[in-house]
Structure formats: structure tokens, C-alpha cells
Amino acid sequence: MIFNKTSLIAGLVGAAFAVSSAAQAGSVPKKTAWTAYGTTSSGYAQAVAIGNMLKKHYGTNLRVIPGKNDISRMAPLRDNKAGYCACGIAAYFGQEGVFIFADKNWGPQPIRVLMTNIGSFGLSLATAKDANVKTMADMKGKRVSWVQGAPALNWNVAAQLSFAGLTWDDVEKVKVSGFGASFDAIINGQSDAAFSSTVSPSPKKLAASPRGLRWVPVPHNDTEGWNRMSAAAPVYGKVKAKIGSEIDKQNPPQLSNYPYPILVANDRQDAGEVYAIVKAMVEHYDDYKNAAKGALGWKLANQNMQWAMPYHDGAVKYYKEAGTWNAAAQKHHDMLLGRQEVIKKAWDAMSGKDSMSKEDLKAAWGKARVAALKAAGLDPIFN
């Protein structure tokens, strides 16, 4: 009984801390909670730096909750234990209801973007130099690390390969147990390539090995290649990577990337509070831009108003006032809201979710989701 009472009190305190009081609606909250990556991540450090800015100017007590995986970062948002998440690309998967979200405890999530951090790192296939891969087309027939239990990583590999019109069927799949193992396999001569960020420690290990490291470029002037890759992964943008292992700053490789962190909330979050937070982050950008590694990417000029997820109403209000929101952005935004509605209706219409096994639910939901999006004239993206 003592344990239950303590748990109840802790839960009530946590919920009170996470959700702003009605009196604070429409302004920067005095107390709020954000989830983020682990304490050693740049995303966590950036959230702390933004929290310090909010404390300085608004007296806000921002609690940053570190999460070791996508579930632990997204669950507090789902359960209203945190108002915001400085998330990774899992936020996009949540909107689409795929991977870990194709589960009876999740389903498609009503995600809304506040701001994104678009940095100068790159995302690509890291290859061993001796594999002699100089273009994406050279990947045909090569051995590629396929990470078990990490569908997002494997999806990114497929998206990169699509630049050259290739698929997983055009390469040799090397099954590995985790992200680190995907690079160990290259170093050990079992694989030739793996997907990564240029700033991850794993490519650095490969660069120091006898096999060496080379990033596969996706030339920005290759319109057809980019059309294929953007269709496979609408989250990608173009970047001349300036940071990371084996990156020549004088001649930066033309790669892809997507934002990290992505500051999101659910649609129910108070629009006035969201407006106030976005305004504070823009107006006091100088306070935190150099306070954490990678924080420069939050600047207003970096925001893509026609990205892969809809913005929160409060954020839209601010961007309209700032002059960065136009008719094209509104049209794209409305399409994304409609897309979320189609996916949610398809999920709600599925019967028997609670009695299905995880595998059966994923299979049934995958078919229902694709059918609903196609019927609405929308690209399923995840087939």
C-alpha cells in the first residue's frame, strides 16, 4: 500500500509539472517538461540551453527528461506527462503510424511541429574505402549492414539506395544485431556499408581502421535521383556536410540530412503557450545558439515551412507574424493535416486490434493504412 501511494503521488506531481496551468495558457509556462535524447546527446544539451534561456527571460523551470529510446521519449508526450519532445525522426514515424507505432498501445500520433534544428551534419551510407564505392550506383551488389530490430535504420538505407534506383534486392543483406555492430561488420570485412550520421562515433572507428571511410554522395544537381529519394523519404533535405569524420570542410560532400532535434507537441497543446515558446526561441536565439553543440540550427531562417509534418497552430500564428508563412505553406500544411486524419480514421476503423498478436496487427494495419492513403490519393510512403 505504501508503494502504491508513493507511486500515485509521484505520478500526480509529474503530471502537474508537465502540464501548464490554465493561468499560464497563452504565455511561456512557469513549469514545463520536455523529453529528449540521453544526457550525453547534443539534443539533451540543446534542450538544457533553451531551458536556461527561458529561465533567464521568463522564470521558466524547464525539466528535461532523458529517454534512451524512441518509446521512452514519446510515451510521456502520449500520456500527457510531458508537453514537448525534442525528438528525432521517430516523431515522423509516429505521425505515419509505422514501426513501433504500429502497435495497439500507440497507433498514429497527432504530432505537431514547433521548430526544427537543421544542422550541417550529413546522413548517408558510410562505406569502406576499399569497397570502391564512389557513387550510389556503385552500391549494386555490395554488402550492406541490415540492423535487426531497427526498421528506421533499414528504411533509411532503402531511401539512400533509391537515389540510384536501387533497392535492398540489389545489394547483399548482412544481418547485424545493432547500430554499432553495423560498423563492426564493415571493420571486420563482413559488410561494405551502413547508414549513419557523419557525426556518429561509429564512422570515426571505421575511418581509423585499415579499411577506411568514404561517404556516398547524393549530388544536389541530380534532379531525378533526388525525386526518387524524396519520394522514398520526404524528410530528407540537401546539405553540404561540414562536420563529421572524413569530411573535407573546404570541399564538403553533397549529402542529405533531416532535422535533429525536432521540437514537437501533440495537437492538444495550448496554442497560446506554443506561440509564446516559439516566439521566445526566435527572439532569444542568441542566448542559446552557442550554448550547446549544434544549436545554431534552430535559427528562423532554417525553418522549412513545407516539411513532412504539420506545424502547431500556435507556431503557425507566430510564423505568419514573422512573415515566413505563405499560401504555399498553408496549402502544404492543410494536406498534411488531411493526411493525419486519413491515417487516424483508418486506424480507428480497424476492428480486433486488442486481440491480435503484434505481428498480425502490424501486417493488417500495414495493408489498411496503405489502402486508405491510396484511396485518398496520397502516397503511402511506407508500403
**Whether 245 and 162 share a structural domain:** yes
* 210 and 224 both lie in a single domain: yes
Q: What is the DSSP-derived secondary structure letter of residue 263? A: E
Indicate the number of domains in the chain. 2
Domain match, 108 and 154 both: no
pLDDT score recorded for residue 149: 81
pLDDT (0 to 100) of residue 16: 40
Q: pLDDT at position 337, please?
A: 98
Q: Are residues 97 and 71 in the same domain?
A: yes
- Assess whether 62 and 34 both reside in one domain: yes
- Alpha-carbon distance of 28 to 22, in angstroms, equals 12
Are 213 and 306 part of one and the same domain?
A: no
Q: Estimate the share of the chain in helix, then strand, then coil, as percent rounded to the nearest 5.
A: 50, 15, 35
What CA–CA distance (Å, rounded) separates 260 from 333?
Answer: 20
Instruction: Verify that 75 and 134 share a domain, yes or no.
Output: no
Q: Give the end of a domain, one of 256, 289, 322.
A: 256
pLDDT of residue 26: 76
Query: Is 380 within a domain?
Result: no
The verdict on 286 and 329 lying in the same domain is: yes
pLDDT of residue 25: 53
CATH code where residue 49 lies: 3.40.190.10
CB 29 within 8 A of CB 60: yes
Per-residue pLDDT of the chain (383 residues; tens, 9 = 90+): 333 433 333 343 344 444 443 334 579 999 999 999 989 888 999 999 999 999 999 999 999 999 988 889 999 999 999 999 999 999 999 999 999 999 999 999 999 999 999 999 999 999 999 999 999 999 999 999 999 888 889 999 999 999 999 999 999 999 999 889 999 999 999 999 999 999 888 999 999 999 999 999 999 999 999 999 999 999 999 999 999 999 999 999 999 999 999 999 999 999 999 999 999 999 999 999 999 988 999 999 999 999 999 999 999 999 999 999 999 999 999 999 999 999 999 999 999 999 999 999 999 999 999 999 999 999 999 98
Residues 6+ apart with CB under 8 A from 90: 70, 73, 74, 99, 100, 152
Predicted local confidence at residue 183, as pLDDT: 96
Euclidean distance between CA atoms 55 and 77, whole angstroms: 22
Q: Show the domain range for 207.
A: 123-256
Residues 237 and 281 placed together within one structural domain of the fold? no
